[in-house]
Amino acid sequence: MKAKAFIVWGTGSGVGKSLIAAGLLRHFKRQGLRVAPFKAQNMSNHYRVVAGGEIASAQWLQAVAAGTPPDPRMNPILIKPLGLEGSQVVVLGRVDPLLSKLPWKERRPHLEAPVREALEALGQEFDLLVLEGAGSPVERNLWPDLPNLLVAEWAGAQALLVADVDQGGSLAALYGTWALLGEHRERLLGFLFNKFRGDIRLLEPAYRLLEDWTGIPVLGTLPMLPLELPEEDGFRHRPRIGQGPKVAILRYPHASNLDEFWPLSELAQPVYARTLEEAQGAELLILPGSRLPARDLAWLQGFLPLLRGHLEAGKPVLAICGGAEMLAQAIVDEEGVEAKGVFPGLGLLPFPVRMLPGKTVRPAQVVFRGLSGFWARLNGLKAQGYGIHHGQGIPLVHQEGPLLATWLHGLLENPGVQQALFGREAKALEEALDQLADALEEHLDLKHLHRNLGLTPGPPPAPTRKEGSLDPPPPPGLLLLLGGARSGKSRHAQRLAGPFATLIATAEARDGEMAERIARHRAERPPTWETLEEPLDLVEALQMARYPTVVVDCITLWVSNLLERDRDPLVETRRFLEAVSSSGKRIIVISNEVGMGIVPANPLARRYRDLLGEVNALLAKAAQEVYLLVAGKALRL
């Protein structure tokens, strides 16, 4: 694949992957790069019609951010949930009836080929692909999953891991996800906290903890942004309340395409109404699309008195696609396209609707003429949108008193319609996307991404290691880390060891200053590590260690402890090395290099220096790898 690739992973669903990917695409577009989005598999009831078929709304928005025409290859697999009835599978923009009928496990072998073909095709046409993962990349029951791990491997992508501070538990979520990533951990370039509000000083200590525990930098914290953009998941979205009339969007169980109402957050006071009380007092009622109108009819029946009273008062109602189908005389689905049967509608429109296997999926436009009442203000306007439905029988636009019914999705996204109905226009998507990119550029260390993607000069950081109790077993053997005081030995050992290791601590808290040092090291240590405090007998501690990776910190104090108790450090070192060779474990040993300073003034100190040098030499001779740490940088010897 020609293009470079970068993937946005999240600690879970709803953490902001989609909008962060959109912001990054707009940022890279500003750098003059030809960029495109990609999400292998998206489960959503929010989708758009583009040239070639259907695409999830998130990837449509990301394509707008990238300044490139949206393409079904950017979301090769779209899954539309049908509740307990299963789901509809859209492959490269078109519904696949056969795959839609298969159980999930039987579908997967058929999905990998179109995903990989779409990825490789886009990779030949662009400079950079910004991939979006799905949910979490560490669902071990799905390991390795398609939309997170396999596509990252195929694209050779590096990764950013995002957590939602507003949901709580973001530090644990980031560390836990890193710990479970196993061999895929090496792709991570950085962590990102999203949706923060409050005093940033309360969050900043988490930066140091994560960097100490993992060796991965925190690239910054994105605040809660007051942007209203089409949301991938309208069921999580809570619109802000703008200035203007109350608008109630009826939220039936299978409501779909709710993302098209994003302008209302600025133009009106929108409410997603699940109850009659929530819809009371609205100036405008909207019946949005429905993935299963035949199933939503029973729910909407409870709103029929409200609808009739609203219309009798001359107040407007807008019914879109599936919402309009439920207001018809009947929904006839003889072939079980969505739900087999004949379902009596609410009877507010003088048409029956028939469900046909062939699906209308196309951009559409309308010029409004002959409308009356509230809707007369649309006369003469041309509106762009899209049609996406199996139903037939209702005109593209039909008025029945204050009720306007239409197949046209996206009506309220037209600036002319916004001006006519609400007296002003919502901010254009372009302006909002620019504000999103501005926020990323202000709050995140994007230069780090540039360096690692090879977009600016400078060496990328060394990759992290792969070991851990849930990872493949580490290769046995000895690693020796040498260096001066505060040279970064302990932190480098943590990077090499991974999230699951046993620490053998040789320090003893003999005074307040040493106790403080021990406490500081303990706080910097990964919370998933096991700690064994053993000042003398490393062999016994090694036998007690639970994990296949063991860190000994440090040999410097161990030699001092042995000398104080009249035990020979060279003999104990040879005994320790024998235990290392038979343990089958990976042992990372930390020791100070004290032989390069001023010659000590007394015989005991000189003897200690010489003995420690000999111990280090014995360890280095037996070690597979030896590193010298200088000013936080590791030099392999």
Show which residues are catalytic. 321, 409
Name the burial class of residue 541, with classes exposed (0-12), middle (13-18) and buried (19+) by CB atoms within 10 angstroms of its CB.
buried
- DSSP-derived letter for residue 146 is I
Q: Are 284 and 316 in contact (CB under 8 A)?
A: yes
Q: Which contiguous run of DSSP H or E holds residue 552?
A: strand 549-553
CA angle, 139 then 118 then 187, to 5°: 45
- Centroid of chain to Cα 9: 4
Report helix, strand or coil for 13.
coil
Minimal CA–CA distance to 485: which of 562, 569, 556, 573?
556
Minimal CA–CA distance to 346: which of 392, 405, 395?
405
In angstroms, how far is the first alpha carbon of the chain from the final one? Answer: 36
Compute the radius of gyration of the chain from its Cα atoms: 31
Q: Are 169 and 11 in contact (CB under 8 A)?
A: no
What's the token pair of residue 562?
């042995």
Q: Are 194 and 14 in contact (CB under 8 A)?
A: no
CA distance 514 to 518: 6
Q: Are 151 and 27 in contact (CB under 8 A)?
A: no
What's the token pair of residue 347?
């009877």
CA distance 557 to 518: 12
Strand order in the sheet with 382-392: 341-344, 330-333, 352-367, 382-392
Report helix, strand or coil for 157.
coil
Report helix, strand or coil for 167.
helix
- Centroid of chain to Cα 274: 29
CA distance 325 to 290: 9
DSSP strand pairing (47-50 vs 87-91):
unpaired
Q: Are 234 and 56 in contact (CB under 8 A)?
A: no
CA distance 65 to 56: 14
Q: Are 295 and 386 in contact (CB under 8 A)?
A: no
CA distance 266 to 260: 13
CA distance 475 to 547: 13
Distances (CA, A) of 240 to 16, 227, 264: 17, 9, 9
Q: What b/e string do you get for 373-410 counting C-beta neighbours within 10 Å, with b at 16 or more?
A: ebbeebeebebebbbbbbbbbbeebbbeebbbbbbbbb
CA distance 544 to 567: 22
